[in-house]
Amino acid sequence: MVLHCDFHSPVLKRNTHINVILPTPAEPDEPMLKDMKVLYLLHGLHGDETSWLHFSNIERYANDAQIAVVIPGVGNSFYQNMAHGEDFFTYVTEELYKFVQGLFPVSKKREDTFIAGLSMGGYGAWYLALACPEKYAATASFSGAVDVGFRYLAAAMPKDAPMPPMPFYVENCFGDPKTIAGSDRDVFALFEKAKAKGIVPRMYQSCGTADFLYAMNVAANKKLTEMGAEITWRETPGIDHVWDFWDSEIRWLINNWLLKD
Q: What is the pLDDT of residues 148-174, one digit of tens each?
A: 887 765 555 556 656 555 666 788 999
Inform me whether the pLDDT recorded for 41 exceeds 60.
yes
pLDDT mean over 62-68:
96
pLDDT at residue number 155: 55
Band of pLDDT at residue 26, cut at 50, 70 and 90:
confident
pLDDT mean over 16-40:
89
With vertex at residue 61, the alpha carbon angle to CA 8 and CA 250, rounded to the nearest 5 degrees, is 85
Inform me whether the pLDDT recorded for 70 exceeds 70.
yes
* Sequence-ordered strand ranges (E) for the chain: 2-9, 14-21, 38-42, 68-72, 113-118, 138-142, 202-208, 231-236
pLDDT at residue number 87: 98
Radius of gyration in angstroms for the set of CA atoms belonging to the chain, rounded to a whole number: 18
Inform me whether the pLDDT recorded for 49 exceeds 80.
yes
pLDDT at residue number 28: 74
Confirm whether pTM is higher than 0.85: yes
pLDDT mean over 117-142:
98
Q: How far does CA 189 lie from the centroid of its chain? A: 17
Q: Of all residues in the chain, what percent carry a pLDDT higher than 70?
A: 93
pLDDT at residue number 163: 55
For the stretch 173-207, pLDDT in tens is 998 888 898 999 999 999 999 999 999 999 999 99
Give the three-class secondary structure for 234.
strand
CA distances from 187 to 50, 84, 190, 221 (A): 26, 21, 5, 11
The Cα 89–Cα 226 span in angstroms is 28
